[in-house]
A = this chain, B = another copy of it.
Amino acid sequence: MAVELISVGTELLLGQITDTNATYMSQRLAQIGQNVHFRTTVGDNQERIVACIHRAMDRADIVVLCGGLGPTSDDLTREAMAEACGRGMHRDPGSEEAIQAIFSARGIPMVEMNLKQADVPDGGEAIPNCCGTAPGVFLEHEGTLLFAVPGVPREMRAMVDDAVVPALQERGLAGTGTIVNRVLRVIGLGESTCARRVEDLLLRQQNPTLAPLAGKGEVSLRITAKAASESEARKMIAGLEDEIRGRLGDHVFGADDESLERVVVEMLTGRDATLATAESCTGGLIGSRITDVSGSSRCYAGGVVSYSNETKMALLGVDRLILEQHGAVSHEVAEAMAIGVRRHLGTQYGVSATGIAGPGGGTDDKPVGLVYIGIAHENGASVEKHRFTNDRLDIKFRTSQAALDLIRRALIESGPH
């Protein structure tokens, strides 16, 4: 079975939006073992949409169109499907009712134009939309299954999950195999170093395959296995994962959606340990990332954003002399910040970051990207010096990443909980 996806919308061709819908649909189809051979993007032009549908029906067994189901004159997907399959259109009473119900619930007068969304090519079926006015379309034509789903991401996702995938499964068009991905997340090694350490695995593996990818302040190693069942694919992945973890050790901090902040919060919570942050160049980013994790209030007391010397003195107790002698971006100040915030907030760990995020403010001695990260705990304090490149936001993010990793490594060193 071959699948083709058609994304409809002039805004895509103008680059006004990025086609994340195509990504989602590709993922979901891969998960049920369907192979997407082609994706096409076409504008709001009926003739061209029709041409795309014709081409897709020639080379695919399943065609999924996305977008162009709205109420305006630019929305032409239904019309193009009907034309491409040589069919008329009829109004679906169920969809008509559903659309009217949505407008009356919202207390907005409905315009006649909105009912156009209830039209379906003859012989086709409307697919209910759980969270919007535009129903989808299902149509079988000369052995090809055609689906149309809305372009609003939330509506598209719900319809793909609740209607398109189940329809394929019911017809026995899924489950002939599955593709499973697992991403190992690595910190403290560059992409090339990381790739060298697993080079033989990169070359050797056909299934599962292994692909390194440089991320923001981390490297991902993506393992992809194709197998008859998910459990079989997971077993194949586990073998390769063990081998990689053996080689990279603690540099592997998590997998899949285990972000560094989540790992840190879980480690702190598991050890009943508490943390406070003292942030200069990151401006609150470390705290914000920690508090992105639900349940972080169990281990995170908060901290200080010390964006001026006065704040460093007033709220962290950093000595004026140290600031004057060494400057705000220094080993000594990073240490004093970490110790100060730990003491003021009475936590077991204090972490600090001070640096020059740029683009201005750099000197020969202290260039843009120079960052000191400190950590304080019951046995004392230590400071790491980093030199990051790239732009302000990148330097901020990499600093937060290094600070979170410093906490993680300190917790590993402190022994298992």
Contacts and interface: CB of A to CB of B under 8 A. Distances in A.
Nearest to A391: B294
A207 to B, nearest CB: 13
A43 B2 CA distance: 13
A128 interface: no
Contacts of A179: 14
B12 A39 contact: yes
B27 A38 contact: no
Given A15-B27, A25-B15, A39-B41, A304 B315 contact: yes
A51 to B, nearest CB: 8
Interface string A198-228: 0000000000000100000000001010000
Nearest to A286: B284
Interface stretch (A232-240, A357-365, A409-417): A357-365
Contacts of A292: 283, 392-393, 396
Count chain B CB atoms within 10 A of each CB in A17, A29, A36, A296 and give the residue with the most.
A36
A297 to B, nearest CB: 6
A228 B14 CA distance: 17
A129 interface: no
A131 interface: no
A301 B393 CA distance: 19
A86 to B, nearest CB: 22
Nearest to A303: B305
Interface stretch (A87-95, A241-249, A306-314): A306-314
Task: Identify which of A30, A292, A308 gathers the most chain B CB atoms within 10 Å of its CB.
Answer: A308
B302 A345 contact: no
A304 B302 contact: yes
Contacts of A282: 288, 291
A17 B27 CA distance: 10
Contact of A13 (B13, B37, B211): B37
B14 A41 contact: no
Contact of A288 (B25, B181, B288): B288
Main SS of the interface on chain A? mixed
Interface in A24-58: 24-30, 35-43, 48, 52, 55
A19 interface: yes
B283 A305 contact: no
A344 B17 CA distance: 44
A344 B314 contact: yes
A374 interface: no
Contact of A284 (B17, B35, B280, B291): B291
B294 A288 contact: no
B108 A192 contact: yes
A40 B43 contact: no
Contacts of A310: 301, 345-346
A301 B306 CA distance: 7
A376 interface: no
Contacts of A36: 13-14
A285 interface: yes
B41 A38 contact: yes
A22 interface: yes
Contact of A306 (B24, B283, B302): B302
A251 to B, nearest CB: 20
A405 interface: no
Contact of A14 (B26, B295, B360, B392): B26
Counting chain B CB atoms within 10 Å of each CB, the highest count among A15, A26, A279, A315 belongs to: A15
A77 interface: no
A314 to B, nearest CB: 6
A278 to B, nearest CB: 10
Contacts of A30: 13-15
A16 interface: yes
Can you list the 6 inter-chain pairs with the closest CB atoms, starting with the nearest? Answer: A283-B291, A284-B284, A284-B287, A15-B27, A15-B26, A302-B307
